[in-house]
């Protein structure tokens, strides 16, 4: 298995006051888990109102549509 073909689905829930969303940033880092070895950084993603492309669009959709669920797939980046 390479980093390219790894796929995992997780549902995460965060309680944040709605009025604070435009100022907040969600930064997610993903690491492998090696018993007895160093856990390697696989990649990450940053979601915020100022993020580029789909990452920013998803955040803006959440702000503009309170209470609605959005499901979006994002590729991890090595420099997040």
What does the pLDDT profile of the chain (80 residues) look like in tens digits? 455 666 777 787 888 898 999 999 999 998 888 888 888 999 999 999 999 899 999 999 999 998 888 888 888 898 75
pLDDT recorded at residue 47: 94
pTM: 0.72
Which CATH number belongs to the domain containing residue 12 in this structure? Answer: 2.60.40.150
Choose among 61, 57, 56, 55: nearest CA to 76. Answer: 55
- Whether 73 is in a domain gets the answer no
pLDDT recorded at residue 2: 54
- Whether 42 is in a domain gets the answer yes
**Residues of the domain holding 60:** 3-64
CB 50 within 8 A of CB 56: yes
Domain count, the chain: 1
Residue whose pair of structure tokens reads 């997040």 in the numeric block:
80
pLDDT recorded at residue 3: 56
pLDDT recorded at residue 46: 94
pLDDT recorded at residue 63: 92
Whole-angstrom Cα distance, residue 48 to residue 41?
A: 21
- Whether 45 is in a domain gets the answer yes
């Amino acid at each position: 298995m390479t980093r390219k073909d790894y796929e995992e689905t997780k549902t995460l829930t965060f309680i944040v006051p709605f009025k604070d969303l435009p100022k907040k940033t969600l930064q997610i880092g993903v690491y492998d888990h090696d018993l007895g070895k160093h856990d390697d950084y696989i990649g990450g993603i940053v979601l915020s109102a100022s993020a580029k492309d789909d990452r920013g669009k998803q955040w803006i959709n959440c702000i503009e549509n309170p209470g609605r669920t959005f499901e979006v797939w994002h590729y991890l980046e090595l420099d997040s």
